Amino acid sequence: METADVVIVGAGIIGLSAGYWLAKAGAKVVVLDKGRAAQESSSRATGFLSLRGEEPLEAPLALAAERLWNTLDEELGYPTEWRQKGRLWVALGEHERDALDEKYRGFLNTGIPFERIDGERCREIAPSLSPAVIGGIHTPRSGHANPQRTTQAFAWALRDRGGAIIEERPVTGIHVAGGKVTGVATPAGDISAGVVVVAAGAQTSKVAALAHVEVPTATVRLEACVTAPLPPLFDVAMVGGGLSLRQTRRGNIHFNGGPHEWVDVELTEEPAKPNTPILRNIARRLAELMPGIRDIPLLRSWAGVLEVTPDQMTILERLSDPDGLIVASCSGHGFGMAPSAGLAISELAQHRRTSLPIEALGLSRFSTLPRDWKARRRWEPGRYNT
């Protein structure tokens, strides 16, 4: 039987980051994926690290991620295209400005420098913004990177340090004996390990259920696209008009937006990820936000499926029942959080504890969650989240 110190289920950015830090520390680590590495959410993300001022439980781990991002290229030895150019939320019209005011109040006292700015200042930061933008919130912190390059960087660096990634190897069982994890089952045979990390993105709840652990998540499909390259227009990570957008090193505008469709996923199948007429909606929003580029062609579109936790914050915990099971679900923020979330997982796997600030991110915060929480919120397959 194959053996490892740690088996990681899922070669998305969380599993690859955890695997990298573990391999660097000298652990024998095997990362398994049902398909190709990073073929799911991680390579489909927009690429923001957002310092989560509005989500105080997660903010400390996001700040730790920011520190790691700033030297990640040197750490991994491969480029991620990380740019710490700040984040700008903009409001188109009074209604959105009221929502931003509310958001801004939540950002005060987070220790992160957020500034409430008017429309003119927004256009100084991003001159292509519409005159209809009447205000925003800006922070010089936060940043963005290239999702494909970053996941590739983690994967290559993991292998450079002696870790293994096995693709097309779905996990179909988690073995537990005497209250402890002992390994995983796959169609190609078992792999024994004293620690199993569940970092299976949209399938995290299904995989954790193999060890009789309930991880509350709902799964959702998001659509995204990229324009033809343009001259430099803005360098912040921008949120506005229902979109998240960044300009890539090559000049393309990479953006995603809603509405998002709640969907079901299966344990080992690739979730369906069609594009739909929603794309027209997303493209229209870009034209409203930046009218000067409304005629630029779209080069490529795609969709991704990710998991959302009930409070939309990360779950990251090493469980005691069963001992040796680590659960990691980053609730739609996993790309930005990956450096610190992966390091935390690596420390939990080796030492049972971590120096990273994850105390507030345990599963027990959902112990009183009603069983029908998804129905109550209408987070059910076939419905849309606008």
Ligand X SMILES: Cc1cc2nc3c(=O)[nH]c(=O)nc-3n(C[C@H](O)[C@H](O)[C@H](O)COP(=O)(O)OP(=O)(O)OC[C@H]3O[C@@H](n4cnc5c(N)ncnc54)[C@H](O)[C@@H]3O)c2cc1C
User: What Å distances lie between residue 274 and 223, 239, 270, 284, 307, CA to CA?
Assistant: 8, 24, 12, 19, 17
Site residues for ligand X, 137-156, by CB under 6 A, read none
Name residue 291's amino acid: P
Site string for ligand X, 240-269 (x = CB under 6 A): ----x-----------x----------xx-
Strand partners, 301: 225
Cβ proximity to ligand X, 126 vs 328, nearer residue: 328
Cα-Cα-Cα-Cα dihedral sign, residues 74, 75, 79, 82: negative
Site residues for ligand X, 166-185, by CB under 6 A, read 170-171
Q: What CA–CA distance (Å, rounded) separates 381 from 50?
A: 28
DSSP state of 291: G
Query: What's the min distance (Å) between Cβ of 94 and ligand X?
Result: 27
Site residues for ligand X, 297-356, by CB under 6 A, read 304, 306, 330, 332-336
In the structure encoding, which two tokens stand for residue 179, read together? 């209250």
In the structure encoding, which two tokens stand for residue 64, read together? 């730790």
CB-closest chain residue to ligand X: 12
- Can you tell me whether residue 72 is helix, strand or coil? helix
Query: What's the min distance (Å) between Cβ of 355 and ligand X?
Result: 21
Q: How many binding residues for ligand X (CB under 6 A)?
A: 42
Query: What's the min distance (Å) between Cβ of 41 and ligand X?
Result: 4
Q: What CA–CA distance (Å, rounded) separates 161 from 279?
A: 41
Which of 328, 357, 319 has its CA nearest to residue 41?
A: 328
Cβ proximity to ligand X, 247 vs 256, nearer residue: 256
Q: Indicate which single residue of 25, 28, 35, 248 sits in contact with ligand X (rule: CB under 6 A).
A: 35
Tokens 């957008």 belong to residue = 245
- Can you tell me whether residue 263 is helix, strand or coil? strand
Q: Indicate which single residue of 8, 18, 30, 45 sits in contact with ligand X (rule: CB under 6 A).
A: 45
Q: What CA–CA distance (Å, rounded) separates 325 from 318?
A: 6
Query: What's the min distance (Å) between Cβ of 72 and ligand X?
Result: 14
Query: What's the min distance (Å) between Cβ of 11 and ligand X?
Result: 5
Site residues for ligand X, 195-234, by CB under 6 A, read 199-203, 207, 222, 224
**Which residues here bind ligand X, judged by CB under 6 A?**
9-15, 32-35, 39-42, 44-48, 170-171, 199-203, 207, 222, 224, 244, 256, 267-268, 304, 306, 330, 332-336
